[in-house]
Amino acid sequence: MTSPLTAGGFAALATGAGAMTLLHVSSDLNPLRDMISEYAFHPHGWLLAASLTSFAVGAAMLAVEMSRRGAGRSTVALVGAWAMCMAMIAAFPTDKPGMSLSMSGGIHRYAAFAAFLCMPAAGLVLAARGGRHAAALRGLSLAAAGFLVLVLVPYAVRTVGLDPGAVPAGLTQRLVVVTEVAVLVLIGLSAAVGRAGAPGRLRPAAGRLIAS
């Protein structure tokens, strides 16, 4: 049976996804070129903070439950770090386009980069341990890492003074977010399956103790 923490974590992730979808539908921004952070300056920009906060809460609940179930410390720490980064991204909005980098904008940028690194790493660490969802976890984690590289290309090009041209940075960033949330969902499902099998492994030992 699914624990309250796991159910609450999935509910929070669904809420975050719903808020993000509604924000996209109600906005006139170009999802191919405009970055997700720019929705903060939209009339319904509060949905962005609500979505990111919901993701943070969902990930934190899953991390706590994974820790209670004895999941690997590395995976728990990475998922917890992703949750913390999501909360920071929500609390510190980016700067308006064309403005110089502020403290809030810098925290937002680097927290996002750290989050984008944490979730693929968590998925690959858990996939290396095997299990029902190992192949899907590995594939989605590698896809998220690949999309992250594409997100970084325009920044690298600008660093050397070149114009990134028609690189669809908005699209690649959205692909990173979608795949990372999918990785988190699979991590939560893997933890749930792992717990379901635990009692069965303990029963024989308990039976031997009773018999002795």
pLDDT score at 191: 76
pLDDT score at 97: 82
159/172 Cα distance (integer angstroms): 19
Query: Would residue 205 count as lying in a domain?
Result: no
pLDDT score at 158: 63
Mean pLDDT of 110-128: 96
Query: What is residue 59's three-state secondary structure?
Result: helix
Q: How confident is the model at residue 203 (pLDDT cuts 50, 70, 90)?
A: very low
Q: What is the pLDDT of residues 6-58, one digit of tens each?
A: 999 999 999 999 999 999 999 989 998 899 999 999 889 999 999 999 999 99
pLDDT score at 200: 34
Query: Would residue 175 count as lying in a domain?
Result: yes
Query: Would residue 201 count as lying in a domain?
Result: no
Query: Would residue 113 count as lying in a domain?
Result: yes
Q: How confident is the model at residue 69 (pLDDT cuts 50, 70, 90)?
A: confident
Residues 6+ apart with CB under 8 A from 54: 12, 13, 15, 16, 19
Query: Would residue 20 count as lying in a domain?
Result: yes
Closest CA to 178 of 60, 9, 16: 16
Query: Would residue 198 count as lying in a domain?
Result: no
Q: How many domains does the chain have?
A: 1
Answer for the pair 77, 118: CB distance below 8 angstroms, yes or no.
no
Query: Would residue 207 count as lying in a domain?
Result: no
Query: Would residue 197 count as lying in a domain?
Result: no
Closest CA to 187 of 42, 66, 103: 66
Q: What is the pLDDT of residues 120-134, one digit of tens each?
A: 999 999 999 887 889
- What is the value of pTM for the model shown? 0.86
pLDDT score at 196: 39
Structural domain boundaries enclosing 95: 4-192
Q: Write down the mean pLDDT value for the chain.
A: 86
Q: What is the pLDDT of residues 132-172, one digit of tens each?
A: 889 999 999 999 999 999 888 776 666 666 565 666 888 99
Please determine, for residue 99, whether its predicted confidence score (pLDDT) is greater than 60.
Answer: yes
